[in-house]
A and B are shown apart, each in its own frame.
Chain A
């Protein structure tokens, strides 16, 4: 601790319970207390902190803004939490080659804000983008509503500077396409802080689109709504976003943040297309026809920016609005091939019935990325266990149709024991070898991603409080 204070200054080492308790949780329902929290200011300090922590035998848990939903930033084995929040400088923007260089603590939305005037944006837009950091996005390979058209974080990360377990600083990747050698930048993106700490990143910027059009389609059955999703992509339209909300969510929205969605509808679909005007007009017309053919009761297109914002308002406020239905929720994150959406949504409904839980669905339908939110009341004895079992059943249903355990939230602590559903022993063994190549003592973020036979005694389940303004 003395050494840490010497490295980063007294003010940036936290040890009192009252201070470190802030760092015991992220956006998941899991908690564990860190022993020490350190807030370094630059890469040299990060490197020295890692050396000092390793000499003292402490595990190291990197943390961005703590908005992760899988417990990835929860210090399951105690140790030193290294918060990167002070490394928050936008270091440079190269508009001609469309790249930005930044530190990991930069807030996602700040990147787009910083380059918007020049007509550019940073594409990955997790719903927590007003609070989450680029470093956290890299660690979790975050997605967002516009992932459908633009891909996830890994598609936009060109290079990273990382500090390894021995304090050495290396650059992985770079600004040119197809960097020679192994794609270690790609390995780091999505590694959830288990290989090292990212201290600088170069990301791709995209040019703002000439035109954006938004459409809301209202359906009387979930089946026809999911069919419309399949048909839209089959028709060759790649929307920038294609979001779905079910009846339970609509009810919550209309109670909490009214957006004018009809309460008796079974599902609404929000579709956005971007591009040159000639394209957006036609794509919107085609999408309109497809929705109508699939059985939409009504299709509304926004006529101006104000109407567009109104259509999105319900979607963006949906998560917070769930608080009007139940005191607690558990958000799941599964993904299935788009063509399996209709049958998977039916399976989710059956699971809700079987486990006697209420589920609100609000999700990235275009990607086949489900977010069933299980609503519950933590005070009801046995409710949390039932919720967790129902969640596991949903993920099993996703895997059974060729899908996966997570679309964008990562594995963290939450799903590490489910990894065996997806990967064989040999597969996991190969991943472990990569882990040990970088981190031979498993010092970085121990207990994450990989299935562990013994459960960590330090981890507690806590009910998620529904944060204001958070939308998933």
Chain B
């Protein structure tokens, strides 16, 4: 295959999307070498910001002709390094495709471009009393395209499910540059569920250029309860028993002592700074149904020595309670210069034992770990606080993180609840899947992307030669040094 030279490719790209939307200077590219996976980076060779699906198709066809990898990127808030161009190549930044094309209130769906910011869709549909349910912590910045790529969750997943439960269909550009439509606004689209397949595929199968999502009707009423416990174990037991009692709150979030102290210092959300853990429990529904539900939840909590049980009395109080949760990660900056936010998931019933293990791992490695997470889903976010300037620190942090995920898997859980695999966890996939399982996934990858140019080095571990042992001892984030693909 005759490989197109860089200059020719750049010139063609400029013709397709317009010169201002093709970035090639190092000072422009540096912005795109990292996402929210703070421990790795790699520079793309070219950044292209297309304005329409047809442009995306042409750009991908050109990249394929040039033999250059294509990495799709939304707002770059991903936590697994999924948008880091580990092998260099052409980065497709979809933030210009940010139009809400349609809101159909009667059929309760919206059609959006991938660059629409998550919260903007809920804001636009609020007029009709509707909202878009998946609410990742980054919803003020992250894009729906990125959410779909990672099958993003959020605090309210407990009741409403993850992104995949809300995507009805999409338009996607394949590695050949062809444009395809999958799914349908009607239930149970015939044929294979390719929309479901593309959700969570982390940009490895195609580039999504339009998405049809389900909108939900806003609940008539919301109640929020803050429960403060002496120990994280009491809080974990409460979570398990609330669910066992047949109650499904819309959210059930846990914040531990480390995070609580940071939050109090930063924004004064009214969390007691010396308690062991707080639970934020929210229920939604019809006005008459909520007081009874709240009483039942409180009765469960009372069995576990709560220090405080407080209901928000107004929308303002509710917002304040949530503010502590939503800005928890940011507040951690007060405690250490950097953090590594993990994402594991365990069966709800195993929460108490796994939380105890996380604490033990922190002690063994002499690290401070803060926990703020979606307790109702059993979705942990142990956040390791550290100072990257200390020699040997990063290796210890990565080691501790790996042990946490091993503990999750050992308890019957998984290596990610909502952040995805990316480069961060692709080697860990071997803990969960046999080589035959992974081979089935690779066959699907090859079916969609035979040349392997779409987001290479992500999601799936490389084929293991027979007899070789999986080696995930060393951090698996090997990325290309900063040098051009053509150099």
Residues of A within 8 A of B (CB): 96-97, 119, 141, 143, 147, 152, 154-155, 164, 168-172, 174-184, 186-187, 189-191, 207, 210, 230, 234, 236, 275-276, 278-279, 282-283, 335-339, 367-369, 402-408, 410-411, 415, 419, 422-424, 426-428, 430-431, 433-438, 449
Contacts and interface: CB of A to CB of B under 8 A. Distances in A.
B189 interface: yes
A430 B417 contact: no
A247 B74 CA distance: 53
Interface stretch (B25-33, B226-234, B437-445): B437-445
A424 B440 contact: no
Nearest to B248: A207
Interface residues of B, number: 80
B288 interface: yes
25 contacts: A97-B347, A97-B348, A119-B246, A152-B188, A154-B188, A155-B165, A169-B436, A170-B434, A176-B417, A178-B414, A180-B429, A180-B459, A181-B460, A182-B205, A183-B193, A186-B197, A187-B192, A236-B220, A278-B292, A282-B289, A335-B186, A339-B106, A411-B190, A430-B180, A449-B191
A230 B345 CA distance: 39
A433 B447 contact: yes
B187 A434 contact: no
Contacts of B445: 182
B416 A407 contact: no
B417 A190 contact: no
A368 B109 CA distance: 15
A257 to B, nearest CB: 29
Interface in B384-437: 412-418, 420-421, 425, 429, 432-434, 436-437
A191 B379 contact: no
Contact of B217 (A175, A236, A337, A339): A236
Given A170-B436, A404-B186, A424-B180, A438 B443 contact: yes
B188 A176 contact: no
A417 to B, nearest CB: 12
A175 B377 CA distance: 12
B196 A186 contact: yes
A33 to B, nearest CB: 27
- Which of B240, B415, B444, B459 gathers the greatest number of chain A CB atoms within 10 Å? B444
Contacts of A187: 192-194, 196-197, 444
A5 B371 CA distance: 58
A311 to B, nearest CB: 24
A427 B440 contact: no
A178 B244 contact: no
Between A97, A147, A154, the greatest number of chain B beta carbons within 10 A of the residue's beta carbon is seen for A97
A435 B174 CA distance: 17
Nearest to A168: B436
A152 B193 CA distance: 13
Given A97-B349, A178-B200, A406-B190, A278 B437 contact: no
Given A174-B432, A181-B459, A282-B288, A430 B448 contact: yes
A415 B246 CA distance: 41
B319 interface: no
Given A411-B191, A430-B194, A437 B447 contact: yes
Contact of A423 (B187, B191, B197, B285): B191
B94 interface: no
Contact of B181 (A180, A186, A419, A427): A427
Nearest to B346: A176
A180 B415 CA distance: 8
B194 A181 contact: no
A183 B188 contact: no
Which of A154, A180, A423: most chain B Cβ within 10 A? A180
Given A230-B106, A279-B285, A337-B185, A422 B190 contact: yes
Given A178-B418, A438-B440, A404 B190 contact: yes
A335 B345 CA distance: 36
Contacts of A404: 184, 186, 188-190
B179 interface: yes
Contact of B194 (A422, A434, A437): A434
Contact of B153 (A174, A177, A410): A177
Given A184-B444, A337-B186, 14 more contacts: A155-B165, A176-B413, A178-B164, A190-B191, A276-B292, A282-B286, A282-B288, A338-B106, A407-B187, A423-B191, A430-B180, A435-B192, A437-B443, A438-B443
Contact of A368 (B164, B186, B378, B429): B186
Contacts of B159: none
Contacts of A279: 285-286, 288-289
A422 B345 CA distance: 38
B440 A180 contact: no
Which of B200, B378, B415 is the most central at the interface, judged by chain A CB atoms within 10 Å of its CB?
Answer: B200
B190 A180 contact: no
Contacts of B42: none
Contact of A189 (B184, B193, B205, B217): B193
Contacts of B186: 335-337, 368, 402-404, 407
Contacts of A431: 191-192, 194
Contacts of A403: 186
Interface centre among B377, B414, B420 (most CB of A within 10 A): B414
